Structure 1
Amino acid sequence: MLNNKEINIIRKFNRQYVIALGVLNKKIFKTDLSWPEGRILEEIAEEAEITPIQIVNKLKIDKGYTSRIISQLEKKKLIEKIPDSQDRRSIKLVLTDKGLEAYKSIDIRSNDQINNLIENLPDSQQIEFFESIKHANRLLFGSEGK
């Protein structure tokens, strides 16, 4: 069992990583999207025809908050709602062309951000960092990521 000092080291890493990623900034990569909007846009981009409830369950966020974010993305013409062919009471969310463009830009900038974070490390330490992240994902979430 970890003691408080060890737990505080993990918490310090979390705080530093959040700062390094810019998560505390109001907008993602100086766009007009908030971080939650960007994250939901990513879910819609990566899973064809996802439902709002699937987003709620996957991201573990409040249903009402998710609904408001989806409405904002729809107003910005980044997503559209389409009827579910299997269940007319349900809707699926898909990206518009504008939404796909926004997602691709955020995805590229996210990759660049990580590259910038580790670029000064020697190749061997970049691999060590990557392997550590894979290991942490496996331990905490049962997978190595995507």
Structure 2
Amino acid sequence: MHATDPAAASPPEATPDATPDAPSVLPGQVTALRRFSRFYTRHLGVLKEHLLDSRFTLPESRVLWELAHHDGLSAAALARELDLDPGYLSRLLAGLKARGLLRGQAAPHDARQTLLRLSAAGRKAFAPLDRRSEQQTVALLARLAPVQRQRLVDATHTVAALLGAPDEPAPGACVLRPHRCGDMGWVISRHGALYHEEYGWGTAFEALVARLCVRFIERFDPAREACWIAERDGRPLGCVFLVQARDDADDQALPGIAQLRMLIVEPDARGLGVGDLLVGECTRFARAAGYRSIRLWTNSVLHAARRLYTRHGYRLSATAPHAEFGVELVGEVWELDLS
């Protein structure tokens, strides 16, 4: 419980007896909650000097997680988010900066304020830690039957809601997560099905998406590339990829240029801001990774996608007709300048 919680801040004599209508907290309830806390911290191994056999302590890991998911936080905002003493956090940040994992940048609205971002090395260091955490959670859930898994997940929502967790997404909220095993099959299947149903594109398009997914997995560089799956209550609503752009002729990397690929949003999730969430995350990641611009290829018939790109500052730079997917189309190259 945080010290800012009214119950925690009250003196002992002001608790149950001062509010006659409130039932007393039973000793057995206190014992049960403390027992669960000891069980869970031991179960996750957070009492070890380093988390998940990494080179990071638990507080360092939390700082890395926050900056990986909330790019451009100030130290003050980070201290509030983690409920950490500013002096202690300052020492944590200094240690991570000395290891080349963080970088600071003056805030555009106030040059006196420094915004914190993970460096490319920081993202590369965080990726295996995040992956091990995911694997640990998968292993924990794999021991349970499907019905038990859902009961456990529902229980976490209940605990978070009762204790007022500020960063706990409410049931039904859209969240972004990195890709995991099995996602590429969904990406290929949904691209193939949706573009055939809505635009009449043939299997050549599905084959292209499959090749791009294979290429992404084989070349994946977590410091400079990412895939995000948007989901609600465990159901995928959309996805997007950001990769190193390459020359179509010789497949050589184009320095400083990222490529946004395979953006898709399920029909029943359109109009809910999922596309904006995915495209915005690409921009934040690209800036943090040091790219100077983002490029994408789309087609003129994808009107909603073109409006989305325009909203995020992309500009049309080239067009060319083609019939690669079995219908006559006009391909378009769009670019976003990050400098």
Under TM normalisation by the shorter chain, which class is it? over 0.9
Deviation at 1:89, TM superposition (A): 0.9
- Alignment correspondent of 1:57: 80
Rounded to whole Å, the distance in 2 between the matches of 1:52 and 1:114 is: 29
How many residues of Structure 1 are paired with residues of Structure 2 in the alignment?
146
CA RMSD of aligned residues (A): 1.4
- Alignment correspondent of 1:4: 27
TM-score, length of structure 2 as denominator length: 0.42
Higher strand share: 2
Q: 1:21 to 1:47 in 2, by over 3 A?
A: same
TM-score, length of structure 1 as denominator length: 0.94
- Residues 29-40 of structure 1 aligned to structure 2 (within 5 Å): 29-40=52-63
Note the residue ranges of structure 1 that are not aligned, 5 or more in a row: none
Rounded to whole Å, the distance in 2 between the matches of 1:61 and 1:11 is: 22
Q: Relative contact order: is structure 1 or structure 2 higher (C-alpha 8 Å, sep ≥ 6)?
A: 1
Rounded to whole Å, the distance in 2 between the matches of 1:88 and 1:63 is: 20
Secondary structure at the aligned position of 2:111 is classed as coil
Match of 1:17 among 40, 64, 79: 40
Rounded to whole Å, the distance in 2 between the matches of 1:78 and 1:131 is: 35
The C-alpha deviation readout for 1:56-76, integer Å capped at 9, x for no partner, is 111111000000000011011
User: Over alpha carbons, which structure has the higher Rg?
Assistant: 2
Deviation at 1:134, TM superposition (A): 0.9
User: Match for 1:117: what amino acid?
Assistant: L
Secondary structure at the aligned position of 2:25 is classed as coil
Aligned: 1:67 with 2:90: yes
Identity in percent? 25
Secondary structure at the aligned position of 1:44 is classed as helix
Rounded to whole Å, the distance in 1 between the matches of 2:94 and 2:130 is: 22
Deviation at 1:143, TM superposition (A): 6.0
